[in-house]
Chains A and B, each alone.
Chain A
Amino acid sequence: MKNGLVIDVSGLTKKFGGRTVVNNFDLAVPRGAIYGFLGPNGSGKTTTIRMVCGLLKPDDGAGKVLGFDVRTEASAIKERVGYMTQRFSLYEDLSIRENLEFIARLYSLDHLRDRVEASLKSLGLTDRAKQLAGKLSGGWKQRLALAACMIHEPELLLLDEPTAGVDPKARRDFWDAIRDYSAEGVTTLVSTHYMDEAVQCDRIAFIAYGEKLIDAPTADIPDLVGLSAWRIEAGDLDAATKRLKTAGGYDVLARFGAAIHLAGRDGAALKRALDTLEGLDRLSATPIAAGLEEAFIYLMAGAADNFAADNFAAGDLKTGNFTPGDPANAAQARGVT
């Protein structure tokens, strides 16, 4: 493998019926990394993952996954990749054990029973082995799905929104498991639109409208987005919120417990909005370093739903013309000026 890259693809493009879902996508993922795909619904995350694991044939682009050609050696890739689908896609009319045995047989694994037992044990599913998969709750289904895609000890894990609809405790357990795998050298590519999942990743690619807009180590994201941020406390936070909304000029307004975090790319406009708060009881406004949270809220708010706005030009965010939450932008997205 060149440069120790597990995924090394460039120019991946996929069209469905004339609509470009993924456009000219480059991706380089080093061994052992936990790499996050962040982006709104319909931004092309699932399509990209499917192209990486050989489930979709790219219309254009080339590259290697685990050293195998992504276009011509899909079978070899499939044998070494574990793919956890967004929707539960194991058999609901088979028991947990039967599902695992089925998958293990498809990978022609030796010591089948031992492996299945070990897998059941490591995920705490032993007691439920005979239960039908369809009768499991969301968290257990997701554990089963992870067990199934790990049973052949893949070198690369592809997880498509793995914890959607799962309670926080189960989500934390899930991520602990992913961290353990990562420590063993397994590379993980995970798509999500949850902030608390994104912060678990070493590196993040932000995708919107089929294009990769940001690709950076997680810690660098706030600087890249370039937000100024303030922490505001006041006796009456509702009144403060109302005044700020009237004033505008910010990109992110979010309640964090007993404080408001206000952030925006235009520092001067932000200051003007803060000025309108003068006279509020027990007011304190302190500049803070914009964190990941603010950056993600900013990014996700910018492209709430990519299915709704086909005509949006993805270059806007790169050039800085893109202002999330601005009505003018919404009009622009619909091709109206």
Chain B
Amino acid sequence: MISLSRVLAVFMKELVQMRRDRPTFAIMILVPIMQLTLFGFAIDTDPRNLPTAVELRDDGPLTRSLLASMRQSGYFKIVAQVSTDEEGESLLRSGAVSFLIVIPENFEKEFVRGERPQLLIAADASDPVAAAGPVAAVNEIARRAFAPELERLPKTLRGGAPPFEAVIHRQYNPAGETSMNIVPGLLGIILTMTLIMVTSIALTREVERGTIEALLSTPVRAGEIMIGKTTPYILIGVVQTAIVLVAARLVFSVPFMGDPAPFLLALLLFIFTNLMLGYLISTLARTQMQAMQMTFFIFLPSILLSGFMFPFAAMPKWAQAIGEALPITHFLRVVREVMLKGAGFAEIRDDVWPIGIILTVLAFAALARFRRTLD
């Protein structure tokens, strides 16, 4: 039996406290903007203009055409020309350049003869993500650069294998899809981060300040405190979502293809689930510090195993099992399907009910953990 008056009492109190706690309030609003900027602009997994050195042991129209194409591709910025292997190696090792491209002796001659000369590309692989895009693109760049020359070659050399050999790592498609994929995913990350964090201290703060004693000496019930303490933050979650969606549309040109109604349902469910997860943490943690640590314990799998950073299907089974238990995994699928693929309720249903189950489990666990005494 829950008294609406008491839920309202806790709700209003939390609203006032939230308003007075300006720094926290500001962080809740600034985090989405900051994250969007970081992930949307600054963190680009498809990097451009990487410093590159070239070692030309041969020179001719083919070589010049190749270098021009590389500049045009935007991946490579040729900053140095070296004459020996050692010189190139040292530039690469010191980090002055990320790539070293070597055109071997007699490259033009062998190319024309159809002897498939080697095009050597040394990449600074200490940042594999940064290297992957340009390396994968090199083959295509070279093919295009040599296209006019190829026209002039005998028919026997056209088609089939390219008339040169380059090291290729096809790790992922550098088609420039990152912001399309990341911005909707960020919505899930932002809601998870901020909402869990803010409710994880809901009770520990009362314990640390000693206010729990006055609170518990009143007739207020566990469920009333739980609902009253979590629901004010639904408003925050909705505001954050609005910020992300507006930015997605105006700044990153990410479309919103689907139906808003099922999206809203999944959104509210997901927001409430995160608040409940935070609240459960606050029933477990003894201090605000512990609550923060537990929150970070949730963040890591939420970012790594949810499909936000790495493709879900490529993960091993056990990692997928953990991922399925996280609300964000299901929410990310919903967001991407609704925003990018225009999914309706029928398509997202299978990801909405797991969030509902997780929410129910969390709420009961929190109620079971809550102590109405100071024992």
Task: Give the interface of A toward B (CB within 8 A).
Answer: 50, 53-57, 74-75, 78-79, 81, 83, 85, 87-94, 98, 101-103, 105-108, 148-149
A89-B211, A94-B16 in contact; A108/B6 too (CB < 8 A)?
yes
- A94 to B15 CA separation, bound complex (whole angstroms): 11
Is the pair A108, B5 in contact by a Cβ cutoff of 8 Å?
A: yes
**In the complex, are the beta carbons of A93 and B20 less than 8 A apart?**
yes
Distance A91 CA – B210 CA, assembled complex (angstroms): 9
With A75-B219, A83-B217, A85-B214 known to touch, is A91 a contact of B373 (CB < 8 Å)? no
Q: Is the CB of A55 within 8 A of B216?
A: yes
Which range holds the interface residue count of chain B?
Answer: 20 to 34
A251 to B3, CA, bound (A): 57
Among residues of B, the one whose C-beta sits closest to the C-beta of A76 is B219
Q: A108–B3 contact, CB under 8 A?
A: yes
Q: Which residue of A lies closest to B374 (CB)?
A: A55
CA of A108 to CA of B6 in the docked complex: distance in angstroms? 7
Residue pairs across A and B with Cβ atoms less than 8 A apart, 26 shown, are A55-B213, A55-B217, A74-B372, A83-B214, A85-B213, A89-B209, A89-B214, A89-B215, A92-B209, A93-B16, A93-B20, A93-B21, A98-B13, A98-B16, A101-B12, A103-B218, A105-B6, A105-B8, A106-B9, A106-B215, A106-B219, A107-B218, A107-B219, A108-B5, A108-B6, A149-B217
Does B375 reach chain A (CB closer than 8 Å)?
A: yes
For B217, give the chain A residue with the smallest CB separation. Answer: A83
Distance in Å from the Cβ of B9 to the closest Cβ of chain A? 3
Partner of B211, one of A90, A101, A105: A90
Within 8 Å CB of B29, what residues of A?
A: none
Considering only CB atoms, which chain A residue lies closest to B225 in the complex? A106
The one of B214, B219, B375 in contact with A90, judged by C-beta atoms closer than 8 angstroms, is: B214
Question: Which residues, 1 to 35 on B, are CB-close (under 8 Å) to A?
Answer: 3, 5-6, 8-10, 12-13, 16-17, 20-21
Complex CA–CA separation, A192 to B372 (angstroms)? 26
Given A55-B213, A87-B210, A89-B212, output 10 extra A-B contacts at Cβ < 8 Å.
Answer: A78-B217, A79-B219, A87-B213, A88-B210, A89-B215, A94-B17, A106-B6, A107-B219, A108-B6, A108-B219
* Structural contact, A78 and B213, CB atoms closer than 8 A: no
B91 part of interface (Cβ distance < 8 Å)? no
B298 at the interface (CB under 8 A from A): no
List, in ascending order, chain A residues with CB within 8 A of B21's CB.
93
Least CB separation from A160: chain B residue: B213
Contact present for A91 and B217 (CB under 8 Å): no
One of A87, A88, A94 near B13 (C-beta < 8 A): A94
The docked-state distance in angstroms from the alpha carbon of A180 to that of B13 is 31
Specify which chain A residues have a CB less than 8 angstroms from the CB of B17 in the assembled complex.
91, 93-94
Closest chain A residue to B209, Cβ basis: A92
Complex contacts, B374 vs chain A, CB 8 Å: 50, 55-56
- Among B3, B5, B13, B375, which residue has its beta carbon within 8 angstroms of that of A91? B13
Q: How far does the alpha carbon of A74 sit from the alpha carbon of B375 in the complex, in Å? A: 14
Cβ–Cβ < 8 Å partners of A89 in chain B: 209-215
Near A by CB (< 8 A), chain B positions 163-219 give 209-219
Taken together as a complex, chains A and B put the C-alpha atoms of A231 and B220 apart, in Å, by 55
Checking A54, A57, A105 against B9 with a beta-carbon cut-off of 8 angstroms, the contacting residue is A105
Q: Contacts of B372 on A, CB cut-off 8 Å?
A: 74
CA distance A105 to B9 in the complex (A): 5
Instruction: Tell whether A106 pairs with B373 under 8 Å between CB atoms, given A55-B213, A93-B21, A94-B17.
Output: no
Cβ of B214: which chain A residues have Cβ within 8 Å of it? 83, 85, 89-90, 103, 148
Please give the distance in Å from B197's CB to the nearest CB on chain A: 19
Asked whether, in the complex, the Cβ of B213 is within 8 Å of the Cβ of A102, the reply is no
Within the complex, what minimum Cβ distance (angstroms) separates B315 from chain A?
44
A101 to B15, CA, bound (A): 14
The residues of A that contact B216 with a CB separation of less than 8 Å are: 55
The 4 closest A-B pairs by CB, nearest first: A105-B9, A89-B214, A106-B218, A83-B217
Measured CA separation A50–B374 after assembly (Å): 9
Of B9, B219, B373, which one neighbours A55 at CB under 8 angstroms? B373
Which residues on B sit within 8 Å (CB–CB) of A91? 13, 17, 211
| Beta-carbon contact of B9 and A102 below 8 Å | yes
Q: Is the CB of A57 within 8 A of B13?
A: no
Nearest CB in chain B to that of A79: its residue: B219
Give min CB distance, A63 to chain B, whole Å: 17
B151 to chain A, nearest CB (A): 77
B273-300 contact mask (Cβ, 8 Å, vs A): 1 or 0: 0000000000000000000000000000
Please name all residues of chain A whose beta carbon is closer than 8 Å to the beta carbon of B373 when the two chains form the complex.
Answer: 54-57, 74
| B208 CB, min distance to chain A CBs, angstroms | 12
Name the residue in B21, B214, B372 with the highest tally of chain A Cβ atoms < 10 Å from its Cβ.
B214
**Chain B minimum-CB-distance residue to A14:** B375
Let me know if A57 and B375 touch, CB within 8 A.
yes
Q: Which residue of A lies closest to B4 (CB)?
A: A108
**Contact B220–A106 (Cβ < 8 Å):** yes
CA distance A148 to B215 in the complex (A): 11
User: How far apart sit A1 and B221, CA to CA, in the bound complex (Å)?
Assistant: 26
Measured between alpha carbons, how far is A54 from B216 in the docked complex, in Å?
9
The chain B residue with its CB closest to the CB of A51 is B373
Chain A residue numbers with a CB within 8 Å of B6 are: 105-106, 108
Cα-based distance from A105 to B220 in the complex (angstroms): 10
With a CB–CB cut-off of 8 A, which chain B residues contact A79? 219
Known: A75-B219, A108-B3. A85 touches B210 (CB 8 A): yes
For residue B21, which residue of chain A has the nearest CB? A93
Closest Cβ of chain A: how far from B231's Cβ, in Å?
Answer: 15
- The answer to whether B218 touches A78 (Cβ under 8 A) is yes
Chain B positions within 8 Å of A83 at CB level? 214, 217
The smallest beta-carbon distance between B223 and chain A, in angstroms, is 13
Contacts of A88 in B (CB 8 A): 210
User: What chain B residues lie within 8 Å of A108 (beta carbons)?
Assistant: 3, 5-6, 219
The chain B residue sitting closest to A55, CB to CB, is B374
Tell me, rounded to whole Å, the shortest Cβ–Cβ distance linking B372 to chain A: 7
B118 CB → nearest A CB, Å: 70
Complex Cα distance A90/B375, Å? 20
Q: Which residue of B lies closest to A80 (CB)?
A: B219
1/0 per position for B208-242, CB-CB distance to A under 8 A? 01111111111110000000000000000000000
Measured between alpha carbons, how far is A90 from B372 in the docked complex, in Å?
A: 17
**A78 and B6 alpha carbons, distance in the complex (Å):** 14
In the complex, how many angstroms separate the beta carbon of A156 from the nearest chain B beta carbon?
12
Smallest CB–CB gap between A91 and chain B, Å? 6
Q: Smallest distance from the beta carbon of B98 to chain A beta carbons, Å?
A: 52
Shortest CB–CB separation between residue B142 and chain A, in angstroms? 65
CA distance A74 to B372 in the complex (A): 10
